[in-house]
């Protein structure tokens, strides 16, 4: 089978979470931003014009938002893993890249962003 090049990108899902290893992060929380690149076969959706043949990105965004604002985790790596696992529950997904941004991370020098990107496949 040839490598699938179809993809859906969902960029900039924002939520307020309480993730981090420091007490202040767990107490006060901060904004997290998640980007998704989902590799899947979109031929059937393109042919049928049927939402059931693709990924409902509105529902997916809501699930990711729930993970961002849900159970606190120490590491953004853990958040990325949980998001990837959620995306991979959809059987048409062959590969997922998840980037979690933590723009207000407790870093003592000027910076624009810190992020972690993971890629998982079936």
Domains of the chain by residue range: 7-121
Residue range 5-16: mean pLDDT, rounded: 97
Predicted structure pTM score: 0.94
For 7-121, give the CATH class.
alpha beta
Q: What is the pLDDT of residue 50?
A: 97
Percent of the chain with pLDDT over 90: 95
Mean pLDDT of 39-67: 97
CA 88/CA 108 separation, integer angstroms: 36
**Chain mean position to CA 17:** 14
Q: Is 3 left (phi over 0), alpha (psi -120 to 50) or beta?
A: beta
Q: What does the pLDDT read at residue 1?
A: 44
**From the centroid of its chain, how far is CA 18?**
16
Active site residues: 102
């Amino acid at each position: 089978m040839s490598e699938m090049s179809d993809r859906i990108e969902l960029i900039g899902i924002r939520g307020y979470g309480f993730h981090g290893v420091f007490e202040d992060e767990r107490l006060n929380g901060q904004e997290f931003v998640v980007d998704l690149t989902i590799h899947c076969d979109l031929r059937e959706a393109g042919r049928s014009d049927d939402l059931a043949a693709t990924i409902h990105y509105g529902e997916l965004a809501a699930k990711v938002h729930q993970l961002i604002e849900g159970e606190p985790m120490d590491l953004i790596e853990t958040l990325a893993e949980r998001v990837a696992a959620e995306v991979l529950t959809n059987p048409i997904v062959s590969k997922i890249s998840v980037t979690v941004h933590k723009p207000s991370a407790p870093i003592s020098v000027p910076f624009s962003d810190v992020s972690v990107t993971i890629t998982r496949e079936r």
